Amino acid sequence: MDKMRKFKYKWFYTIDHKGLLYLEEIEPKNYTSCLKQIKALNFFFTHLQENDLGIEKEYGYISPCWTEMNFVKPYKYPIVFNNFSKREDGTYEMRYAGDLKQVFDPSKLIMDEGGHFLHPLDNHKYLKYGSFESNISVSFCETVTEEEGEMYIEWEGQKHKLYEEATPDIIKRRNDAIV
């Protein structure tokens, strides 16, 4: 994408802690007022990337759409896994946006300095990690143990080291703006 391309319209969005997308001026922000069209959400989140345009800097992310530029301010992280389910083959998948999917691998979980669980995105062109909706995070917390200074998460009878890395190599950007 040519980032210097002119855009005719600017729109401003927020993403809440559950991964729901809202036009910024919409009040109240609840399930009835968030965007719900699956195809539109998939397009929006697939094109979500860091805002490196040099304008509207309080919006850490953008999602370009033809001649429109969507500026985005997430609660913490722009990708939030809000559905977690077991597949027929016994593996688990997480969903975000409309119906975008990511295979869950407990050995890849990371905890940032604020205590948020993160999981790598294998299939996103621009972003590397997604966080979890609070109910999913709470279920993870119930299985975290500490042994000899190391943190572990137990998943289906196996312990996996829980990495507490939030270096620039691991997480490129963290937007602390509060919605």
157: phi > 0 → left, psi -120 to 50 → alpha, else beta; which?
left
**Average pLDDT score over the chain:** 86
Strand order in the sheet with 9-15: 21-23, 9-15, 68-74, 61-65, 49-50
Return contacts of 166-170, CB within 8 angstroms, 24+ apart: 166/110, 166/112, 166/113, 170/110, 170/128, 170/129
pLDDT for the residue numbered 115: 83
Angle at 150 between CA 145 and CA 155, to 5 degrees: 45
Pairing status of strand 83-86 against strand 80-81: unpaired
Tell me the percentage of the chain whose pLDDT exceeds 70.
Answer: 88
pLDDT digits (tens, 9 = 90+) for 20-75: 999 888 777 777 777 888 999 999 999 999 999 999 999 999 999 989 999 999 99
pTM here? 0.84
Domain boundaries, the chain: 9-74, 80-161
pLDDT for the residue numbered 174: 37
- Integer CA distances (angstroms), 61 to 53, 86, 118, 126, in order: 10, 31, 18, 11
What is the C-alpha separation between 78 and 19, in angstroms, rounded? 7
